A and B are shown apart, each in its own frame.
Chain A
Amino acid sequence: MRLSQVALRNISRNRRRSLLSGIAIGVAAMSILLLFALVDGMEEDLARNLHDFYSGMVRIRHSDYDANELVSPLHLRVEDADAKVATLQSLEGVAGLSPRINFPTSIYREGETYNAQGIGTDFALEVGYSGIDEYLVDGTLPVAGERRMVIGTGLAAEPEVGVGDSLTLLSPTMRRSSNAITFEIAATISLPVASLNNMALYIPLDQARRLVQMDNSVTEILVKLDNERDSRELASSLLERWEGEPLRIVSWRDIPSAYSFIELARGVYNGMAIVFFLLGSTVIITTTMIVIFERMREIGTIAAMGMTGRQIIQLFFLEALFIAIAAAFAGVVVGSAITLVLQQVGIDLGSALDGVELEIGSTIYPKWNLLTTGFVFAYSVVVTGLASYFPSRKVARIEPVEALHTT
């Protein structure tokens, strides 16, 4: 009889023990798969939010803006913005762009004030850029020339306003003075990032220019590309094109954000995966050790019948390995099933992210990935297999006579 057949028979002879070992490995595999799927989903969500609402794939700002961003230096602007937008639109590989004026503002309504973050944008371009229309809850987007605004549902909740209500925005101007304009709410939107939904309002770019008294300028232009990997190359070429102008043009990968933490987290989670499997493997090690002591007479018998120490090691190793393969497979199958469901319905973090200054959406959609699934399966088998090898070696040191005398 082949060793593998003997191993399989031994596994089935003690189903409870095998099941216990298998569950430990399976749960570890399933957990790691879910964890990786969650990280993948967060990474994708974060990248999308950064591209759509924060940094684009390439961001163009005045060279001194970032250093003074906390005081909203509206005079540190990207000048001649319309021409730059036209130039960018003509470039190959540019998938969308959004010229914006970001300004701090106080909403004034019936004697109360509420702090907000204003964004002046070209709605015609914004729809193609961030798909802002997809987040509409009520109303319609304004067009250029209209004194109408779009407001996040979280921000609208406090003053209890909705479509058709008017709000007065009080803001600093480019001259570092102040100005106020009254806008009618054209639409409410539910933005995916809680902090944004609670603070952001959008007005047409021309009205933002009037409010902050800015000329043909913007505070930033965000650019999306067909291929994100070209972002650094485009940033460099734009810097050359507009050499001499006080501009800072950078790829989103060179802008500090939570994305770098996600990448760091991925490394940490890889380490955690090893710990998970080692924990799972301790069950394998323990049960293998117990089995060795339980089956001492059997070991002595098969050794007396001529089976070599190496073959006995292989036998015990195979038993552990088969359990690991079956359990890991079951684990990734269950994990995949759960992930695929969550990928559709999402995990609603709800109010847990209120007040959190992260660009992560309130609902995370774990992402199932075949490569990750295969990796987790192989990882599970290899780690648990290696873990079971060492107790198996103990068998080789058992003398047949001594084993046969064991009661």
Chain B
Amino acid sequence: MGRHMRANHLFILIVFTSMVATGLSAQTAEEIVQRLEANETHSTAFAQGRMLIHDRFGDRTTSFTSWSSGEDDSLIEFTSAGEAGQKILRTNDQIYLYYPDAAELIRLRGSALRDSVMGSDMSYEDLTSGGGLLSDYRVTLAGTETVEGVETFRLELEARSRSVPYASQTIWVDTSRFVGVLTHLYSRSGDLIKVSRALEFTERDGRIFPVRVRIEDRLRRDTYTEFVFDEIEVSISIDPSLFSLEELTF
């Protein structure tokens, strides 16, 4: 998943958010992106949710609890019976996997980052953090479009370097709330790889949160994953050691 999508809809859903951007009048692509990213930034966040994974063999649900601090540190602990106790830690731009029966932490590198997270449509690579959309991509505003009844800005993003997982993105951003409604992620050959849709939002304390997001990996046949957030808390107190390797294996 692209950096923007990560920030919007995926693992970062633990830090996701969206503020109602009433009264704002972003005019340039850069300003729209800045508004979008500003909405997604929280000092800390806690969430409980579920991954509803659909593939050609059927549906299954994986539940999790997650914590995050800033843009760099986050931890997911899976709570469903089949995965109970398994954790994914992102810190210092590295991904670590903890399994209760494994004697060592698994640090993902190289092609292993492209593996699916728990068989979902999200890859570990989607969890890695970047320097932000504006530093990774050249952004242009391609106009406004109505997407599923929502007036949106259509942003075209082209990668500045080959170090990002997706060569280009198209993001449709709600013109009034500055939340990502739809994201298309493309490979270097121009093929559409992933699609992310925010299906439901909820409003709390004046903030708008996407609470149901569907991701489709177009390289797989007949699959999609819905992330559903049942509980969200932001700006809470989290002990920084929660994101340490020592704590992960404790």
In the complex, the answer to whether A178 meets B118 with C-beta atoms within 8 Å is yes
Within 44-82 of A, Cβ neighbours of B (below 8 Å) are at 68, 73, 75-76
A311 at the binding interface (Cβ < 8 Å): no
Q: Which of B53, B62, B99 contacts A181 (CB 8 A)?
A: B99
Within 127-185 of B, Cβ neighbours of A (below 8 Å) are at none
In the complex, the answer to whether B82 meets A210 with C-beta atoms within 8 Å is no
Q: Hey, what's the 0/1 contact readout for B88-101 against A, CB within 8 Å counting as 1?
A: 00000000010101
In the complex, the answer to whether B109 meets A168 with C-beta atoms within 8 Å is no
Q: Hey, what's the 0/1 contact readout for B60-99 against A, CB within 8 Å counting as 1?
A: 1010000000000000000000110010000000000101
Kindly state the separation between the CA atoms of A336 and B67 in the bound complex, as whole angstroms. 75
Which chain A residues lie closer than 8 Å to B99 at the CB level? Answer: 168, 170, 179-181
Within 153-210 of A, Cβ neighbours of B (below 8 Å) are at 166, 168, 170, 172-173, 175-182, 210
In the complex, the answer to whether A75 meets B112 with C-beta atoms within 8 Å is no
In the complex, the answer to whether B82 meets A173 with C-beta atoms within 8 Å is yes
In the complex, the answer to whether B106 meets A182 with C-beta atoms within 8 Å is no
A269 at the binding interface (Cβ < 8 Å): no
In the complex, the answer to whether A111 meets B102 with C-beta atoms within 8 Å is no
In the complex, the answer to whether A176 meets B101 with C-beta atoms within 8 Å is no
A108 at the binding interface (Cβ < 8 Å): yes
B57 at the binding interface (Cβ < 8 Å): yes
Kindly state the separation between the CA atoms of A177 and B99 in the bound complex, as whole angstroms. 12
In the complex, the answer to whether B62 meets A111 with C-beta atoms within 8 Å is no
Which chain B residues lie closer than 8 Å to A166 at the CB level? Answer: 103
A113 at the binding interface (Cβ < 8 Å): yes
A213 at the binding interface (Cβ < 8 Å): yes
B55 at the binding interface (Cβ < 8 Å): yes
Kindly state the separation between the CA atoms of A181 and B86 in the bound complex, as whole angstroms. 12
Kindly state the separation between the CA atoms of A75 and B55 in the bound complex, as whole angstroms. 13
In the complex, the answer to whether A180 meets B82 with C-beta atoms within 8 Å is no
A106 at the binding interface (Cβ < 8 Å): yes
Which chain A residues lie closer than 8 Å to B118 at the CB level? Answer: 177-178
Which chain B residues lie closer than 8 Å to A108 at the CB level? Answer: 102, 104, 106
Which chain B residues lie closer than 8 Å to A113 at the CB level? Answer: 109-110, 112
Min CB gap B132→A, angstroms: 28
Which chain A residues lie closer than 8 Å to B83 at the CB level? Answer: 177-179
In the complex, the answer to whether B119 meets A168 with C-beta atoms within 8 Å is no
Kindly state the separation between the CA atoms of A177 and B83 in the bound complex, as whole angstroms. 8
Kindly state the separation between the CA atoms of A73 and B119 in the bound complex, as whole angstroms. 12
In the complex, the answer to whether A177 meets B104 with C-beta atoms within 8 Å is no
Which chain B residues lie closer than 8 Å to A179 at the CB level? Answer: 83, 86, 99, 101
In the complex, the answer to whether B82 meets A177 with C-beta atoms within 8 Å is yes
Which chain A residues lie closer than 8 Å to B188 at the CB level? Answer: none
Which chain A residues lie closer than 8 Å to B109 at the CB level? Answer: 111, 113
Q: Hey, what's the 0/1 contact readout for A123-145 against B, CB within 8 Å counting as 1?
A: 00000000000000000000000
Min CB gap A275→B, angstroms: 48
Q: Hey, what's the 0/1 contact readout for A314-342 against B, CB within 8 Å counting as 1?
A: 00000000000000000000000000000
Kindly state the separation between the CA atoms of A113 and B115 in the bound complex, as whole angstroms. 12
Kindly state the separation between the CA atoms of A76 and B58 in the bound complex, as whole angstroms. 12
B107 at the binding interface (Cβ < 8 Å): yes
Which chain A residues lie closer than 8 Å to B106 at the CB level? Answer: 108, 168, 170, 180
Which chain B residues lie closer than 8 Å to A75 at the CB level? Answer: 57
Min CB gap A163→B, angstroms: 17
Kindly state the separation between the CA atoms of A224 and B119 in the bound complex, as whole angstroms. 35
Residue in B closest to A113 when the chains form the complex, CB atoms: B112
Q: Which of A106, A172, A210, A213 contacts B119 (CB 8 A)?
A: A172
In the complex, the answer to whether A178 meets B112 with C-beta atoms within 8 Å is no
Kindly state the separation between the CA atoms of A73 and B58 in the bound complex, as whole angstroms. 12
Which chain B residues lie closer than 8 Å to A176 at the CB level? Answer: 53, 55, 57, 60, 119
Which chain B residues lie closer than 8 Å to A173 at the CB level? Answer: 82
Kindly state the separation between the CA atoms of A178 and B82 in the bound complex, as whole angstroms. 9
Min CB gap B192→A, angstroms: 22
Kindly state the separation between the CA atoms of A178 and B76 in the bound complex, as whole angstroms. 14
Kindly state the separation between the CA atoms of A168 and B103 in the bound complex, as whole angstroms. 7
Kindly state the separation between the CA atoms of A175 and B82 in the bound complex, as whole angstroms. 8
Which chain B residues lie closer than 8 Å to A177 at the CB level? Answer: 62, 82-83, 118-119
Residue in B closest to A178 when the chains form the complex, CB atoms: B118
Residue in A closest to B51 when the chains form the complex, CB atoms: A177
Kindly state the separation between the CA atoms of A176 and B118 in the bound complex, as whole angstroms. 7
- Known A73-B57, A113-B112, A176-B119; contact A181-B102, beta-carbon cutoff 8 A: yes
Min CB gap B101→A, angstroms: 4
In the complex, the answer to whether A182 meets B101 with C-beta atoms within 8 Å is yes
Residues of B participating in the A interface, judged by any CB pair closer than 8 Å: 53, 55, 57, 60, 62, 82-83, 86, 97, 99, 101-104, 106-107, 109-110, 112, 118-119
The 6 closest A-B pairs by CB, nearest first: A180-B99, A182-B103, A176-B119, A180-B102, A181-B101, A177-B118
17 inter-chain pairs at a CB distance below 8 angstroms, sorted by A residue, are: A106-B112, A108-B102, A166-B103, A168-B104, A170-B99, A170-B106, A175-B60, A176-B53, A176-B57, A177-B83, A178-B86, A179-B86, A180-B102, A180-B106, A181-B99, A182-B102, A182-B103
Q: Told that A166-B103, A175-B60, A182-B103 touch, could you supply 9 new A-B pairs with CB distance under 8 A?
A: A168-B99, A168-B103, A170-B102, A170-B106, A175-B119, A177-B62, A177-B83, A178-B118, A179-B83
